[in-house]
Structure 1
Amino acid sequence: MTFPRLIAALSMTLAAAGSQAFDFKTVGAAPVILYDAPSTKGGKLFIVPRGAPLEVVLAYGDWLKVRDVSGEVAWTEAKGLSPKRNVIVRGANLKVRANPDDAAAPAFIADKGVLLEVTEAAAGGWLKVRHRDGLSGYVKNSEVWGI
């Protein structure tokens, strides 16, 4: 392969990688342990509660390298995660709207760090979410982490 073709191939590969969506999973029914290596013999770093979203950075056999809401990166067993989608509120006093519109009345207020279940993606960068108390509404993708 000539040098110009190699550069072009690398550029296309990097462009494709940059356009991929983030891959998020949710901690399943039981909390998961995050390790410093892809092995149960590795050092235990954190315990992540059920329902928490984690960004999948890399898959290695039965292990996933994940990033949590604080930006920490560690390893966990893939079997402990679910494809269900949850998000975490980024800021204080988030107005969860009755409709996917900035002018819509608030359905409820969610504080920073509150976990919300994603029930569907709406048009224009909005998500329909549900609080564990059963209240539901819409938030912008930029107002939550895990999407």
Structure 2
Amino acid sequence: MRRPLRLLGVLAAGLLVLLQGLAGPGTALAQNTARGPSGFPVPRFVSLKSERVNVRVGPTLEHRIGWTYVRAGLPVEIVQEFENWRRIRDWQGEEGWVFHSLLSGRRTALVTPWEQSGTTPLRAEPRSDARLAAELGPNVLVNVGSCRQGWCRVSGDRFSGWIDQTRLFGVYPDETIE
């Protein structure tokens, strides 16, 4: 009786992976509805733990390295889990596999990485009419402290304040972080 139940679990997991694949790289299924083998929600945002992180084309050391990230703290989205491997997606939509120990639960974000120029206001309070604390350019890496009601409390070298949540890659729209 155990074998058919285990087979059912494997089939269900396979169906979820298939559905995630059909959703495409730019979409996430309903936020935090599924749990991976780690017990954590999939999809979810994490950050790179070290300065050099190899991204592989498959979930084993035998798979070739597709590219290497060279900046610790970059936010990535875990979109799939397989044993101790995590399939991640970056802000450009590129996906690949990383060993779980190279990732951190620390929440970070990139300010408007999709823009080439311009600035994003960092406010002293979570309101669009609050005093301007700084202006941040594209690709500034920030630590995310909390998010609520469309605003995130962020900090970095020599700045801290509130930023419009839609200006960040590394948090979901309307996500609450305590």
CA-CA distance at 1:72 after TM superposition: 0.3
Aligned: 1:59 with 2:81: yes
Whether 1:137 aligns to 2:156 is no
TM score, norm. by length of structure 2: 0.68
Offset from partner CA, 1:41-83 (integer Å, 9 cap, x none): 2121222221001100001001000001111011101111010
Q: Which position in structure 2 is the counterpart of 1:85?
A: 107
What residue number does 2:145 align with?
A: 119
Query: 66-75 or 43-52, which moves further after superposition?
Result: 43-52
CA contact (8 A) 1:30 1:80 kept: no
Task: Report the counterpart of residue 7 of structure 2 in structure 1.
Answer: none
* Structure 2 CA distance for aligned equivalents of residues 144 and 137 of structure 1: 14
Instruction: Give the % identical residues.
Output: 27
C-alpha separation in 1, matches of 2:66 and 2:29: 29
Query: Aligned letter for 1:87?
Result: A
Between Structure 1 and Structure 2, which shows a larger proportion of strand residues? 1
Q: For the residues of structure 2 that align with 1:38 and 1:74, how far apart are their CA atoms?
A: 8
Q: Is the 1:66–1:74 contact (alpha carbons within 8 Å) kept by the matching residues of 2?
A: yes
Q: CA deviation at 1:128?
A: 0.2
Runs of 4+ in 1 over 6 A off after TM superposition: none
User: How many corresponding residue pairs?
Assistant: 130
SS in 2 for 1:103: coil
Which residues of structure 2 form unaligned runs of 5+?
Answer: 1-18, 20-27, 33-42, 172-178
SS at match of 1:76: strand
What is the deviation of 1:134? 3.2
What's the CA shift string for 1:58-110, capped at 9, x where partnerless? Answer: 01001000001111011101111010000001143111111100111221111
Two-structure CA RMSD over aligned residues (Å):
1.7
Tell me, yes or no, if structure 1 residue 19 matches structure 2 residue 30.
yes
Q: Distance in 2 between matches of 1:45 and 1:29?
A: 17
User: Map of 1:5-44 to 2, 5 A cutoff?
Assistant: 18-21=29-32, 22-44=43-65
| Superposed displacement of residue 18, structure 1 | 3.9
Q: Contact (CA 8 Å) 1:37, 1:74: kept in 2 or not?
A: yes
Unpaired stretches in structure 1, ≥5 consecutive residues: 1-13
